[in-house]
């Protein structure tokens, strides 16, 4: 019987990007997803698989097991589990026992996990001709709603962020558009001063306008940001970023950010992959680290919002709550 009581247990109905494909070798890896402890492993043929972590025999963690052929073998008594959860027992052959297994797919350099029923297509998005600069994974010590709040309002960028942000909240032009299954936000305003190195590297200059526009969808929970810069004479700078961010609930009070960063090629040939892309990834990861730091300082993890305390840039938070509820918090 499934005893998962995580508030976000229904998020298992959506594909969740749990880790990078390259992170999963022959050694099993334990993870938590929506309160469910599971073990990911890669079979000898290369198939990624996931089963519930606890061996049903004597409750040893299967994360300390070993892969043998197409099965994960428990280190305690040698029970083995295939990708579909079928069990082979050394002393009970033919009993047809079954263990909880999860659906697993690999795409976009990620391993996606969800419950193994009524499988929908994997999420997809357009890179708009940009190239992948890198991906990052952050563990946030805050519930899903509070994490989403941080990444769907821009007021904090003036005080928290060091690179990507606005000079002051009062200077931000803001527009919110609502759809039944999505929220769209457009923001623009004066870009805070970049370090001189960045001015040359990404073709940004003092006085530029920064625009951070995004759309949030909810099956699974995903925000795609388009970040662009415009010169004082109205010319759009050649450098811009597309940031694809998934919000993955690990348990009631912990959220994983799975982030992919895309940019134009700013250096020729392999120099972009070897030099420019790592710098772009590092700067973006640094900015995300600042967000994680801020969320770690929350003194109250209550997810309820008081509409009376919300400012003009915060309306989207209430709208996100309404769209999140059916797919993540309700059966």
Q: Which residues contact 3 (CB under 8 A, 6 or more apart)?
A: none
The CATH architecture assigned to 9-115 reads 3-layer Sandwich (2.102)
Per-residue pLDDT of the chain (331 residues; tens, 9 = 90+): 456 789 999 999 999 999 999 999 989 999 999 999 999 999 999 999 999 999 999 999 999 999 999 999 999 999 999 999 999 988 876 577 899 999 999 999 999 999 988 899 999 999 999 999 999 999 999 999 999 999 999 999 989 988 888 888 888 999 999 999 999 999 999 988 776 666 556 667 778 899 999 999 999 999 999 999 999 999 998 889 999 999 999 999 999 999 999 999 988 888 888 888 998 999 899 999 999 999 999 999 999 999 899 998 999 999 999 999 999 997 7
CB 154 within 8 A of CB 173: no
Question: Could you check whether 9-115 and 131-328 share the same CATH topology?
Answer: no
Predicted confidence at residue 325, as pLDDT, reads: 95
pLDDT for 191 equals 87
- Domain ranges within the chain, ordered by starting residue: 9-115, 131-328
What superfamily would CATH give domain 131-328?
A: START domain (3.30.530.20)
136 near 259, Cβ under 8 Å?
Answer: yes
Beta 36-42 vs 29-33: how paired, if at all?
A: antiparallel
């Amino acid at each position: 019987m499934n005893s998962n009581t995580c508030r976000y247990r229904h998020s298992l109905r959506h594909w969740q990007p749990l880790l990078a494909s390259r992170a999963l070798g022959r050694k099993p890896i334990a993870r938590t997803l929506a309160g469910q402890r599971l073990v990911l492993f890669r079979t000898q043929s290369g198939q990624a698989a996931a089963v519930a972590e606890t061996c049903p025999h004597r409750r040893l963690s299967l994360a300390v097991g070993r892969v043998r052929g197409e099965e994960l073998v428990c280190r305690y008594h040698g029970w083995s589990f295939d990708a579909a959860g079928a069990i082979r027992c050394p002393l009970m052959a033919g009993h047809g026992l079954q263990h909880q297994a999860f659906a697993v797919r690999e795409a976009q350099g990620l391993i996606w996990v969800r419950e193994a029923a009524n499988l929908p297509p994997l999420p997809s998005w357009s890179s708009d001709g940009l190239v992948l600069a890198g991906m990052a994974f952050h563990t946030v010590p805050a519930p899903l709603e509070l994490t989403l709040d941080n990444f769907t309002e821009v007021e904090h960028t003036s005080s928290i962020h060091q690179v990507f942000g606005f000079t002051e909240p009062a200077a931000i032009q803001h527009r919110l558009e609502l759809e039944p299954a999505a929220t769209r936000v457009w923001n623009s305003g004066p870009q805070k001063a970049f370090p001189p190195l960045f001015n040359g590297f990404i073709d940004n200059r003092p006085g530029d306008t920064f625009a951070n526009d995004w759309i949030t969808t909810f099956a699974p929970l995903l925000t795609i940001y388009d970040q662009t810069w415009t010169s004082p004479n109205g010319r759009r700078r050649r450098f811009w970023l597309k940031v694809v961010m998934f919000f993955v609930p690990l348990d009631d009070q912990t959220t994983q950010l799975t982030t992919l960063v895309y940019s134009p090629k700013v250096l020729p040939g392999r120099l972009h992959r070897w030099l420019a892309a790592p710098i772009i990834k590092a700067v973006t990861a640094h900015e995300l680290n600042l967000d994680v730091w801020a969320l770690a300082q929350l003194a109250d993890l209550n997810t309820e919002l008081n509409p009376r305390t919300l400012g003009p840039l915060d309306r989207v938070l209430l709208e996100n709550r309404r769209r999140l509820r059916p797919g993540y918090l309700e059966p």
